[in-house]
Amino acid sequence: MRRITAFALAALAALSLGGCELAHKVSNQYGTRGTGMDQVTVKKVAMAKDEVPPPPYDPPSADGPRAKEQFQNVQVLGDESAEQLSYTMAAMTAWVAPKEGCNYCHNPNNMASDELYTKIVARRMLQMTRNINHNWQDHVGKTGVTCWTCHRGQAVPANHWTMPPAGPNGIIGNRHGQDNPIAATGFSSLPDSSLALYLTGDPKKDQNIRVQATAAHPSPADKTSVMQTENSYAVMVHVSKALGVNCTFCHNTQSFGSWPISTPKRAKAWYGIRMVREANGQYISSLAGVFPAYRKGPMGDPFKVSCATCHQGKNKPMGGYPMAKDYHALWGAPGLYTVPSSFPAPLQAPQPTQPVASAGGAANPAG
């Protein structure tokens, strides 16, 4: 009886430990032995082409009369052909509101009307999408993004976040944003305000993610506090979970802060963080007065995006499938509707200056 009980307990323990493994992992060494450059990736099948909505019909010509000449109140895609506008609208219906259809944003009796808040939001999100594809190719490359990248057939993207609620004044009962396990920080006890700290605001006013000072005797301006380090770790946990990778996807364990020995993917992530910061700070936050209360967080701010909103556990959203190539209208300049008079100058990420060793001893170019 004791043996059976012991066996049962051992089996239960094994099952419990197995439950901690949320997904199968694969590990590959791509650095010199002893450097710790082992890449651990969540083993998932990349999204197949048939899981991505196909174009509503064959992509039309970009030539012909402009949309602003054929339709009323076209404020963002007016520079596209009228055929491209209709084609893009049909695709957006499948991407964002397949059940509700066109009426989710439009009054069917007056398609030009702006009476539905969803149309104002959609117009601004079109600007944001065009801005990403037009100005942030250092992150999205020629793959680009569409509304589907975030929405996946839902009006509200599954992976969104809002500003954390303010804690109580004083010491008693104030956890200072810690010991509050949330998905964004891997359900850890790290601060729950790291996304608010690093993924909002002006991308040109840099809020660097740092876990150590850059000198042996740092100046006050260069000093990194324990609190700052905790926030940095929290947002890095978020990035790791969002992409389904471990730290060496971007960093070299010899020195996490060193750019010369980092992988080229770190520069792409550098642009991505600033791209998300601009999307939240310039585009989504500007809609605070448009969204109804039930589409806002406890602090009255609209639902925001993070790395997880697009990536959803893959280092390339949708396994890298380039669906945006079929949508000419999503690659133009953002337009002038309710946007600032000028956009920030293109940002430049620090570049690795030395090759990063790969499996088999070969070297990947640093560029």
Give the pLDDT of residue 84.
Answer: 97
The residue range of the domain holding 317 is 26-166+175-213+222-364
d(CA 272, CA 139): 5
Give the pLDDT of residue 131.
Answer: 95
Q: What are the distances in angstroms from CA 198 to CA 126, 130, 163, 205?
A: 24, 23, 12, 11
d(CA 7, CA 1): 10
d(CA 187, CA 192): 9
Cβ neighbours for 49, distance < 8 A, ≥ 6 positions apart: 321
Residue 13 domain-assigned?
A: no
3: its two tokens: 């043996």
Residue 31 domain-assigned?
A: yes
Write down the H helix ranges in 192-317.
194-198, 226-243, 265-278, 307-311
**Element containing residue 68 per DSSP (H, E):** helix 67-70
Residue 17 domain-assigned?
A: no
The number of distinct structural domains making up the chain is 1
Residue 261 domain-assigned?
A: yes
Residue 201 domain-assigned?
A: yes
Q: Which of 365, 303, 302, 314 is nearest to 45 (CA)?
A: 314
Residue 179 domain-assigned?
A: yes
DSSP-based helix, strand, coil % in the chain, nearest 5: 40, 5, 55
d(CA 266, CA 255): 13
Q: How many CA atoms lie within 13 A of 295 on its CB side?
A: 15
Q: Which residues of 37-57 are buried (b: 16+ CB within 10 A; e: fewer)?
A: bebbbbeeeebeeeebeeebe
Residue 159 domain-assigned?
A: yes
Residue 20 domain-assigned?
A: no
d(CA 56, CA 39): 39
What's the distance, Cα to Cα, between the start and end of the chain in Å? 65
d(CA 184, CA 207): 19
Give the pLDDT of residue 80.
Answer: 95
Give the pLDDT of residue 188.
Answer: 77
Q: What's the residue count for the chain?
A: 367
d(CA 330, CA 343): 18
d(CA 336, CA 204): 20
**Predicted TM-score of the model (pTM):** 0.79
Tell me the helices (H) and strands (E) count for the chain, helix number first: 10, 4
- pLDDT digit string (tens) for the chain, length 367 residues: 555 455 454 444 444 443 344 556 676 666 666 666 666 666 654 555 557 899 999 999 999 999 999 999 999 999 999 999 999 999 999 999 999 999 999 999 999 998 999 999 999 999 999 999 999 999 999 999 999 999 999 999 999 999 988 766 655 555 566 767 777 777 777 877 889 989 998 777 767 787 766 666 666 666 666 667 888 889 999 999 999 998 999 998 888 888 888 889 999 999 999 999 999 999 999 999 899 999 999 999 999 999 999 999 999 999 899 999 999 999 988 865 543 333 334 444 454 444 343 333 333 322 2
Q: Are 320 and 310 in contact (CB under 8 A)?
A: no
Give one word for 144, left, alpha or beta, with left for phi > 0 and alpha for psi -120 to 50.
left
Give the pLDDT of residue 326.
Answer: 96
Cβ neighbours for 66, distance < 8 A, ≥ 6 positions apart: 78, 79, 80, 81, 82
Domain containing residue 286: CATH number: 1.10.468.10
